[in-house]
Structure 1
Amino acid sequence: MSEQRDLEQFASTASSGERQPEEQESEPSDPEDHGTARYPSLPTDWEIKRLDEVATVQGGSTPSTDEEEYWGGEIPWATPTDLTELRGNTISDTEDLITEAGLESTSTHILPPYSVLLTSRAGIGKCAVNTVPMATNQGFQSLIPGEELNTWYLYYVISEMAPYLESIGSGSTFSEISKREVQRVQIPVPSMEEQIRIATTLKNTDNIREVTKQLVEHGNRIKVGLRQRFFTAGINGEELVETDSRYGKLPKSWSIKQLDDVTEVVGGSTPSTDEDEYWGGDIPWVTPTEVTELVENEISKTERNLTESGLESTSTHVLPVNSVLMTSRATIGECAVNTVPMATNQGFKSFIPGETLNTWYLYYCIEHIASYIESIGAGSTFSEVSKRVVKNIEIPVPSLDEQEEIAQTLKSVDDAVLRNKRYLSQMNTLKSGLMREIFHGRTRIRNGQIEPLNEVRING
């Protein structure tokens, strides 16, 4: 028996940044051996049971698509795509509906509300809880909990073991897990009251994550709306006049400038990867992937660094702090502001703002016209915008004071979005660690530590 912690002790170590223990045991290839190998140190009052002992495993089917009478009825009929595109962890609507005749024509069955839909092919292990009666296609092996099992506990325990389910899938065309294999999978089963406490804890975490996602999306919508308004009407309520440009009407005092007039446009390059002396130095060297995968809007570290000799061997230059790095091939128009001097590879056309241009105004302006910049890309292998084309791109330029006001307003919204993104990332990490700890019996949710959710108790 390994040492067990309660929820408060787990929360304390998680908030302190203490690394949670990783799984050491190897995954067995046979589901029958799964229980003892995956869960070697469960509490003595827990049991390990096969899924077919505590739930009914139900497959699905597809009515003939040639029979119109089978389709367009009132019975929701789920496909794996409905789950992969799902927002949240419950499903009540599906893209397709079938009729009673369609249902009777196949081997599929209606799943009662609060079953656990489990995808069993291609993307194995995705789950959702249906809140209305529902049928599925053959891409599922869904679970109808028996009396010993709470629906939401089952949902979370299956979600935690999704990588294992994926690992036992087989097939030449696509990976799939059979009904027999799902039935043989073993899961830990504590008492019903502890299942409810566990499910409540994890559902509370999910609820916080969902609210945070909504805050991120709401913030992004606000930013897009403000950006559209600012770059068409300004921020001071000034009279709008027609311009001889793609921007149409703009504030009277604004001017239209080519990027080459107000910035220095800088390309990048890659030193020979065969020369060790060119790599491992102190000069950050960024690739487009590092910008497209960036959560923040600033960049200070890169996967690889150049040496001085590596820099000198190419046509790339070191960009000063507060330049705007813009990807210019494949993915065009993604931006970041560098907080340290930095070089780039050839997948960038970066901007060093002149005296009449605020860095963050330029960043948001490029973000605003990114789709236009992408539309003027060319290339047979991949789309790319050349340095000559980028230099000739026109942007609206207000006074520096107005630029700074626009930039500060947009950046304050961006900063709020980024705070929520960081919090969401922390919650995702917390949930993963908590699920691993709970379902391996290392952290217990004691009676009185958490108030059970009615949704879990009643609809479970």
Structure 2
Amino acid sequence: MKESKGFKETEIGLIPEDWEVARLGEVFEVKQGKQLSAKENRDGKVLKPFLRTSNVLWNKIDLSELSYMPFSESEFKNLKLKKGDILVCEGGDVGRTAVWDGQIDEISYQNHLHRLRSVKDSINNYFFAYWMEYAITIKNLYHQNANKTTIPNLSSSRLKAFPIPLPPLEEQKAIADILSTVQNAIEKTEKVINATKQLKKSMMKHLFTYGAVAVDEIDKVKLKESEIGLTPEHWEVVRLGEVVEKMKAGGTPKRSEKRFWGGSIPFILIEDLTKNNLYIEDAREYITEEGLENSNAWIVPENSLLLSMYATIGKTAVNLIPVATNQAILGIIPKRDRLNVEFGAYLLKFHSKRLLSQNIQTTQRNVNKGIVENFLIPLPPLDEQQKIANILTTIDQKIQAEEKKKVALRSLFKTLLHQLMTGKIRVR
């Protein structure tokens, strides 16, 4: 790779001098798909799968949900997709583009999608799909070409008029290869994240049923029937209030009073508890000492347990810094010799559905301090609590590391997309 020299001004912006610009309709045949109709006469027709706009993501076809509609033999022959066909959304997320890789032998597409089939050898279809992503999501090049009526849409005539770049064909292929490599890395990272989340879910069920034992040793664990179901024989079942020093909800200073906001006290909302990270080390909002004094908020000391009581019941976190919270969050200071705070956070998250079942029947699903105090929990010995917490925090750390990797890869993809599609980085 090297930075290119020698640019020319075109209607799509500055591009290298050896790149050409063409109209999309000069390079591709454009054809819309079939309209779905409930009143259609189905005589002599066969149900066939077809793609909707929801199946077409940026440079990816999602086949998790497929729809079917009747086609005559001639209709299907005319609209059947071939490997390498490009699909562009006419409605929905207008202009979203992906290449059909032939994952299914016989499939068609609906009328809210345009099928592009190249008529010249001067274009690489994957390069074009990445160009569309750059032009629409970064450069905002074709926004004026969408029909801004009640429902934005992109007609065939407007699509055919799009100016597109034509670098040398080998360079198009190289650009597409680079971007697909990064995109594949993102998708693999997402699979690792999803698999690790599934592992965490399975491990939580195992650990809170049998304790910190290996999966192949569960037969050795003696279980007993308790008020909350089967638990290991050596575990207690206690009210949460028995193993905490203090439990209190927070409060919100008046938003209209500017002197209450922008201070040095971290102020935690339910949204701060919905992240994958168990720990809270910072806040998006801060209040002043005066704001604290003029509300029901209080300082929850570090290494306490935070629990959501309103709407999204059972979201938990451990604050590594002293914080104040709003009224939807209960601050819980555990008795350190009875309850490991990380264990408590994971346990309440795991039992959130049971906690939710005890909610106050109002227009919004809520629990209160009294319900939480009397909520029955299984309680292993402290050393076993620590082991369970260590296992789950290790899994969480893996998820967080992969999430950071995904963010970095997405940033790299966006940077490369811009640099390669403008010729600022050339590939030979």
State whether TM-score is above 0.5: yes
Among candidates 169, 173, 177, match of residue 146 of structure 2: 169
1:5-404 matches, within 5 Å, as: 5=3, 36-37=10-11, 39-67=12-40, 69=42, 73=46, 75-83=48-56, 89-90=60-61, 95-101=66-72, 104=75, 109-132=79-102, 134-146=107-119, 147-163=121-137, 164=140, 165=142, 168-236=145-213, 239-246=221-228, 248-263=229-244, 264-292=246-274, 294-355=275-336, 356-378=338-360, 380-404=362-386
How far the C-alpha of 1:66 sits from its partner, in A, is 3.8
Paired amino acid for 1:290:
D
Match of 1:452 in 2: none
CA RMSD of aligned residues (A): 2.6
How far the C-alpha of 1:334 sits from its partner, in A, is 2.0
Alpha-carbon separation, structure 2, partners of 1:254 and 1:72:
64
Alpha-carbon separation, structure 1, partners of 2:315 and 2:129:
38
Q: Unaligned 5+ residue runs, structure 2?
A: none
Give the TM-score normalised by structure 1.
Answer: 0.82
Alpha-carbon separation, structure 2, partners of 1:91 and 1:315:
48
> Contact 2:45–2:72 (CA<8 Å) still a contact in 1?
no
Structure 1 pair 104/301, CA: closer, same or farther in 2 (3 Å)? same
> Contact 1:72–1:96 (CA<8 Å) still a contact in 2?
no
Structure 1 stretch displaced more, 316-325 or 232-241: 232-241
Match of 1:30 in 2: none
Structure 1 pair 155/241, CA: closer, same or farther in 2 (3 Å)? same
How far the C-alpha of 1:297 sits from its partner, in A, is 2.4
1:391-430 matches, within 5 Å, as: 391-430=373-412
How far the C-alpha of 1:125 sits from its partner, in A, is 2.9
Structure 1 pair 352/166, CA: closer, same or farther in 2 (3 Å)? farther
> Contact 1:91–1:130 (CA<8 Å) still a contact in 2?
no
Alpha-carbon separation, structure 1, partners of 2:69 and 2:27:
29
SS in 1 for 2:313: strand
SS in 1 for 2:112: coil
Give the TM-score normalised by structure 2.
Answer: 0.88
SS in 1 for 2:17: coil
> Contact 1:111–1:144 (CA<8 Å) still a contact in 2?
no
Structure 1 stretch displaced more, 319-328 or 413-422: 319-328
Structure 1 stretch displaced more, 167-176 or 279-288: 167-176
Structure 1 pair 120/357, CA: closer, same or farther in 2 (3 Å)? same
> Contact 1:63–1:105 (CA<8 Å) still a contact in 2?
no
SS in 1 for 2:95: coil
Structure 1 pair 371/162, CA: closer, same or farther in 2 (3 Å)? farther
Structure 1 stretch displaced more, 349-358 or 91-100: 91-100
Alpha-carbon separation, structure 1, partners of 2:324 and 2:350:
24
> Contact 2:251–2:297 (CA<8 Å) still a contact in 1?
yes
Going by fraction, where is strand more abundant, 1 or 2? 2
SS in 2 for 1:350: strand
1:328-381 per-residue CA deviation (whole Å, 9 max, x = no partner) reads: 222222222212111111121232222211111111112211233334334544
How far the C-alpha of 1:105 sits from its partner, in A, is 9.0
1:410-429 per-residue CA deviation (whole Å, 9 max, x = no partner) reads: 11111111101110111011
Structure 1 pair 388/82, CA: closer, same or farther in 2 (3 Å)? same
Matched residues, percent identical?
25
How far the C-alpha of 1:254 sits from its partner, in A, is 0.4
> Contact 1:279–1:310 (CA<8 Å) still a contact in 2?
yes
State the aligned residue count: 409
